[in-house]
Amino acid sequence: MTKLTKKQRAVLDFIQASQQEEGVTPSYADIAKHFGYSSLTTAVDHIRSLQKKGFLSHSFRQARSFKLTAPLQRLRRQIADIPLFGDIPAGWAQDREQEALGCVSIDIGSLGFKPSPNTFALKVQGDSMIGKHIVEGDTVILEHGLSPQPGDVVAALIDNESTLKTYTMEEGQPFLRSENPKYPALFPVNELVIQGVMITLIRKRNA
């Protein structure tokens, strides 16, 4: 199968997302604006490459007429469905029960990792992690069972309350650091349990 570059794959994903969310394919101008290209030429070049590789067809007599073709179905075999276990407070820690609410589909090739049975997703609520560019509405992808290193973003239970914070060590003692000066560091009184270490995040286009 003909391989795509990371940029070509990103353009193809953007076209597919636009079709699913808006019912129409993006124009060259839309593609250039989304990816920050300084001219339409770069967008046109990517589209032509996708057409040559058989991933897109296009009617020259009709605007916004890109169509995803059969090879994309083979490409989508690299899509993994990761269980979404509700949301997690990125603010003050809260008593929160997590339960499966569905799945998040991840393109393994473009994100560069292969999910395991211990991979799971959570929706972010709150603004305590903005210093690490994690905002409300993001979906964080985490791995259960990894040993956290100082600086890792983790989903944790601190004294039985759930939160998303940065794992930190000081004089051999672990605690949780916020990435927003509005919130204090969290030191466990009794117990700190790391539920998962963040490996990536997903952000909606309009977030």
Contact status, residue 12 vs residue 66, Cβ threshold 8 Å: no
**Catalytic: which of 18, 128, 162, 178?**
128
**Catalytic: which of 123, 132, 162, 165?**
165
Closest alpha carbon to 185 in 174, 194, 195, 196:
174
Closest alpha carbon to 115 in 154, 145, 136:
145
Count of CA atoms in the C-beta half-sphere (13 A) of 153:
21
Name the residue type at position 160.
Answer: N
Integer Cα distance of 19 and 178 in angstroms: 38
Q: Strand 161-170 and strand 79-89: pairing?
A: unpaired
Q: Which residues of 52-69 are buried (b: 16+ CB within 10 A; e: fewer)?
A: ebebbeeeeeeeeebebe
Is 128 an active-site residue? yes
Is 39 an active-site residue? no
Integer Cα distance of 164 and 141 in angstroms: 12
3-state secondary structure of 31: helix
Residues identified as active-site: 128, 165
